[in-house]
Amino acid sequence: MLFGLFLNAISFIMHSLQIALQISGAVIILFSLIPLVKNDYWAFRVFEYPRLQKIFLNLVVIIIYCSLYKIASTFDIIFLSLLIANALYLAYQVYPFTVFAKKVIHKAGNTDSSNQVSIISSNVFQDNKNTAGCLKMLSENDPDIVLLLETDRFWYEQTKVLQEKYPYHVLAPLENTYGMLLYSKLELVDPKLNFLVDDEIPSIKSGVKLPSGKTFDLYCVHPTPPVPGENNYSTERDKELLLVAKQVQKNNKPTIVIGDLNDVAWSYTTDLFTKISGLLDPRIGRGFFNTFHAKIPFLRFPLDHAFCSTDFKLVRLSRLDNFSSDHFPILISLQYEKNASVEQDEPVADQEELALAEEKINKDNPE
């Protein structure tokens, strides 16, 4: 009798687990399809972020299901076929950011230090007080340009020492988690602090003169994310990014765009940004370089970005050590080369994408 009860209990557990796996698989597929809805509401946009996590969970469900249950019924075959198709779909989406994909930015060949620039972009996390760790990280890597984001008055005061080493700067400390501090060893030409879509959300545009005398345009951005408590819609984020993209394309100069875009590298908005601007993503063919969340390994996404025009080749791209922030700093070193634009292909938007960009730029925030 006890043995019979034991078998019944095992049967119940196995059946319950099977149902749980089926529900989990259906939820993963649903979360994979939701981003296909081009709606600005956060509930549609936020599911663009965890594609790596969805692939992992998708494969876990497939492996457990196939290991524990006999695949005999039509339902099981359809269920597993949908999960496999979903895994392949997600893998296709993130494939460009693996080492197996073709690189869009070539590695710099001959070293020309007079035409090189190294930049660190770091979201410091406003509530983080480890300024000493930040300064140590900057000292160890010694970049030409430093962009610190989420910097309030405390961070401004505690990093003033950087002004000795970086004589050129644009300083905009704010208490709303959107402060910016830009420090540069290289001369900044006509720097401007802009508020493109919101009077409380700054961005920076400046010319930068390389040691060779060649200048390029630098854009520093940190738009709001589409999450409850920040902004329920991605409208303002998308608008700011696409306004910058249009400026880049119109100016047609060597350009670098850096910052925390609060968007993942593989989202349709980031893809639209690169096509409208004509800028290249150095992560393509090299890796994900996930920068957030630094304290939760399973929930990491590539939110901190560095894009450049075809005038540059890559010297180095690295994710640096964290200093108690929720973001890892990212370092990019680029080399301007006269013939680089001939050797590298610029992304181009088609008419439908151009129309979509205009629609997003002219769209008012629903809130």
Q: Is the pLDDT of residue 345 over 90?
A: yes
201-206 contacts, C-beta under 8 A, 24 or more apart: 201/236, 201/240, 202/172, 202/174, 202/178, 203/240, 203/244, 203/259, 204/170, 204/172, 204/180, 205/247, 206/170, 206/182
Task: Let me know the angle formed at the C-alpha of 211 by 205 and 215, rounded to the nearest 5 degrees.
Answer: 35
- Lookup: tokens for 214: 């060649």
The one-letter amino acid code at 237 reads R
Instruction: Report the pLDDT averaged over residues 132-153.
Output: 98
Short-list 183, 273, 154, CA closest to 223 = 273
Beta strands of the chain (E only): which ranges?
116-123, 145-149, 168-172, 180-184, 188-194, 203-209, 215-221, 255-260, 304-308, 312-319, 330-336
Measure the CA–CA gap between 138 and 161, rounded to whole angstroms: 12
Rounded mean pLDDT, 5-34? 86
Quickly tell me which residue has 């749980």 as its tokens. 20
Condensed to tens digits (0 to 9), the pLDDT of residues 79-111 reads 999 999 999 999 999 999 999 999 999 999 888
Q: What is the pLDDT at residue 94? A: 92
What is d(CA 202, CA 213) in angstroms, rounded to the nearest whole number? 28
List of domains in the chain: 2-97 (no CATH), 113-361 (3.60.10.10)
With 90 as the cut, is the pLDDT of residue 262 above it? yes
CB 285 within 8 A of CB 101: yes
List the beta bridge partners of residue 188: 208
| pLDDT range class, residue 2, cuts 50, 70, 90 | low
pLDDT tens, position by position, 184-212: 999 999 999 999 999 999 999 999 999 99
The number of residues making up the chain comes to: 367
First to last CA, the chain: 64
* Helix, strand or coil, per DSSP, at residue 308: strand
Q: What is the pLDDT of residues 215-257, one digit of tens each?
A: 999 999 999 999 887 889 999 999 999 999 999 999 989 999 9
Give residue 97's pLDDT: 95
Written as one letter, the residue type at 328 is F
pLDDT in tens, 274-321: 999 999 999 999 999 999 999 999 999 999 999 999 999 999 999 999
User: What pTM value is reported for the model?
Assistant: 0.93
Please give the C-alpha separations between residue 196 and each of 90, 201, 204, 233, 326, in angstroms, as whole numbers. 34, 8, 10, 17, 26
Average pLDDT, the chain: 94
CB contact at 8 A, 342 and 350: no
Residue 8 predicted with pLDDT over 80: no
